[in-house]
Chains A and B, each alone.
Chain A
Amino acid sequence: GAVVSQHPSWVICKSGTSVKIECRSLDFQATTMFWYRQFPKQSLMLMATSNEGSKATYEQGVEKDKFLINHASLTLSTLTVTSAHPEDSSFYICSANPGLAGGREQYFGPGTRLTVT
């Protein structure tokens, strides 16, 4: 149990376009989801906390207008990278939490590799 999927697993887009990444909890309901970004040979950096039915909470330094997060249901959160630039190329990972407010039980998705040309 506790499977989190992401789609797509990899995507290549042109500079200036927008890309949407989906995160789904397949066998549990997730009231909280988290979005991370990971550059090569670096750690995971938390971008935002997504709560079902409410606005996402962004970490300091993360542009909310550039990285749009929508958590419209208990099994789906989406991250849209708007007006993508080459420096947005990264590995984006989501995690889902079945509890009310985060905690140990975070299940991670397989990640989405974004390349902006």
Chain B
Amino acid sequence: GESVGLHLPTLSVQEGDNSIINCAYSNSASDYFIWYKQESGKGPQFIIDIRSNMDKRQGQRVTVLLNKTVKHLSLQIAATQPGDSAVYFCAEIIYNQGGKLIFGQGTELSVKP
């Protein structure tokens, strides 16, 4: 079935480096894509989203890139900090399917001090 998936299950980076977390999706009808951060034992926390008709959106230290040609989404975190260590999920929303979120596999980011 249709799903959103990730290339890398784990990512380890050095503090201060930039991190890139990738996500592949298969549904061309997605309206929005969202990145969430989930710390251990907690609920997901919204990071940034991007509408399907955009290819880039920037936030504070984060940038989301969308490549619809290859159905690829990425989250870039600049100057990664220990507090960024968490699991990151991409999710897609398809409004004509009730607007529910479909979550990807997740990538665990570990930041070394």
Residue of B nearest to A43 (CB): B103
Contact yes or no, B43 A110, CB < 8 A? yes
- Which of B93, B98, B101 is the most central at the interface, judged by chain A CB atoms within 10 Å of its CB? B101
A89 proximal to B (CB < 8 A): no
Contact yes or no, A43 B100, CB < 8 A? no
Contact yes or no, A46 B105, CB < 8 A? no
Interface size class, chain B: 20 to 34
Contact yes or no, B42 A110, CB < 8 A? yes
A67 proximal to B (CB < 8 A): no
Contacts of B102 in A (CB 8 A): 46
Contact yes or no, B41 A34, CB < 8 A? no
Contact yes or no, A108 B44, CB < 8 A? yes
Contact yes or no, A102 B98, CB < 8 A? yes
Contact yes or no, A57 B101, CB < 8 A? no
Which residues of B in the span 4-30 have a Cβ within 8 Å of any Cβ on A?
none
Contact yes or no, B44 A101, CB < 8 A? no
A109 proximal to B (CB < 8 A): yes
A11 proximal to B (CB < 8 A): no
Answer whether A111 and B93 are a contact pair too, CB < 8 Å, given A49-B100, A106-B101. no
Least distance between B23 CB and chain A CB atoms (Å): 11
Least distance between B9 CB and chain A CB atoms (Å): 9
Given contacts A4-B43, A102-B101, A104-B32, 8 further A-B contacts (CB under 8 A): A43-B103, A44-B103, A93-B44, A97-B99, A101-B98, A102-B95, A110-B42, A111-B41
- 27 pairs, A vs B, C-beta closer than 8 Å: A32-B99, A42-B106, A43-B103, A43-B106, A44-B44, A44-B89, A44-B101, A44-B103, A46-B102, A93-B44, A95-B101, A97-B99, A99-B99, A101-B95, A101-B99, A102-B93, A102-B100, A103-B93, A103-B95, A104-B32, A104-B34, A104-B49, A104-B93, A108-B45, A111-B41, A111-B42, A111-B43
